[in-house]
Amino acid sequence: MSNPYFPKQIFIDKKSLHFPLTEKILERTSHIPTEIIENAQDLISDFGAKRDPLLLGKQTLLITQQRGVFVKPCPCTPGYIGCNYFIINTDLNCPLDCTYCILQNYLDNPLITVHVNTENLWHQMDLFLSRHRHHIIRIGTGELGDSLVLDHLTDRSKEMLGYFKEKKNVLFELKTKTTNIANVLESPPSETIIIAWSLNSARIAQEEERGAPSVAERLEAAHSVMKRGYRVAFHFDPIIRYPGWEEGYAEVVDQMLTKIETQKIAWISLGSLRFPPPLKEVILKRFPQSRILYEELIRGKDGKFRYFKPLRIELYRNFVKFLGKAIRDIPVYFCMESGDVWKKVLKKEPKGKEEVETYLSLPFGDSR
């Protein structure tokens, strides 16, 4: 990764001071001002009162403990078909600054936060996998923070890959927008581990994904990981309409299929721009130059703004066209779409999230 993230200041919850992960981070950030605090929640409240808490939060690292549950079901609004995915919330927030990022509104905590009580994580994971040992589980990181953007400070991926490598009923996914893959390349691959990238058109990546590597750089990282022996995946989410979007997305799909062997792509997800109403004001305030809000948007079943359904179907049908014959070999699924969208675009209508889970897991059957 050409420009690895380092915070401008580090705060450490006093009760988290002597954890091994805390000591590792401090060793790698010895040049950064550090302060021990008594109460993490007081710090979070103080940041919330600042003029631009989101920007300042991205410059600040909080080391603390996860006092709740690390593993949760990925939320999916009733009325849309989910995929029975589970998420591991080890780290919160992201130093990248994408205009559309839902974390700007979703989390009360604006700081880049690392939870260092990993023994609790593995204990919870053991119990969780034991309860679900009779069927395949799809689980991953990267929902509430990029999976790899802090990896040079935490080595989180090494631990994750080592733990999940031996799990026979788990498909584990690391999701990222970065090229911070050194630890991944040093870790032995497994057929049941997927390294995934969020992709967009080159224009959207440049204009709306501040601080993120270019699309070409992400695909080069995916190519390196594929050559190491891993399967990879891609998430085109959010797909954003703009003048010339068809050419822009056709180009990135062509680049992806040129760079990555089809049989090494575990899955591709598609999702169009959507956001809760409060995020609109955040985007207008923080990114007044952004044009993503000026397309035709309506309130969906979940109350979020999204493109009118015919426009979404047009987006997805174009993606199917861009993929061409490759779609026969790559599982493609939608994030938060209704059954009729599935049927009109992919000619199938899953009965529920369990059927989608089975659809995405079947290609791995021979490796188990």
Evaluate whether 66 touches 121 at the Cβ level (below 8 Å).
yes
Domain count, the chain: 1
What are the φ and ψ backbone dihedral angles of 366, each rounded to 5 degrees? Answer: -70, -20
Q: What pLDDT shows up at residue 134?
A: 86
Q: What pLDDT shows up at residue 260?
A: 98
Q: Per the domain annotation, does 48 fall within a domain?
A: no
The pLDDT tens digits along the chain (368 residues) read 468 999 999 999 999 999 999 999 999 999 999 999 999 999 999 998 888 899 999 999 999 999 999 999 998 777 799 899 999 999 999 999 999 999 999 889 999 999 999 999 999 999 999 999 888 899 999 999 999 999 999 999 999 999 999 898 899 999 999 999 999 999 999 999 999 999 999 999 999 999 999 999 999 999 999 999 999 999 999 999 999 999 999 999 999 999 999 999 999 999 999 999 999 999 999 999 999 999 889 998 889 999 999 999 999 999 999 999 999 999 999 998 999 999 999 999 999 898 999 899 877 754 43
What is the residue whose two structure tokens read 């890959």? 161
Q: What pLDDT shows up at residue 179?
A: 98
Q: Per the domain annotation, does 357 fall within a domain?
A: yes
Q: Per the domain annotation, does 338 fall within a domain?
A: yes
**What is the widest separation between alpha-carbon atoms in the chain?**
58
What's the rounded Cα separation, in Å, for the pair 302 and 79? 8
Q: What pLDDT shows up at residue 77?
A: 76
Q: What pLDDT shows up at residue 168?
A: 84
Q: What pLDDT shows up at residue 241?
A: 97
What is the residue whose two structure tokens read 């300042």? 56
What's the rounded Cα separation, in Å, for the pair 246 and 267? 21
Q: What pLDDT shows up at residue 79?
A: 79
Q: Which residue range forms the structural domain that includes residue 217?
A: 67-367
Please list, in sequence order, all residues whose beta carbon lies within 8 angstroms of the beta carbon of residue 215, skipping any fewer than 6 positions away: 199, 200, 201, 202, 205, 252, 255
Q: Per the domain annotation, does 5 fall within a domain?
A: no
Q: Per the domain annotation, does 20 fall within a domain?
A: no
Altogether, the residues listed in the chain come to a count of 368
Q: Per the domain annotation, does 16 fall within a domain?
A: no
Q: Per the domain annotation, does 50 fall within a domain?
A: no
67: exposed, middle or buried (Cβ count in 10 Å: 0-12, 13-18, 19+):
exposed
Our separate counts of H helices and E strands in the chain read: 15, 18
Q: Per the domain annotation, does 35 fall within a domain?
A: no
Q: What pLDDT shows up at residue 111?
A: 97
* Domain at 236, CATH number: 3.80.30.30
Report the predicted TM-score, pTM, of the whole model to 2 decimal places.
Answer: 0.95
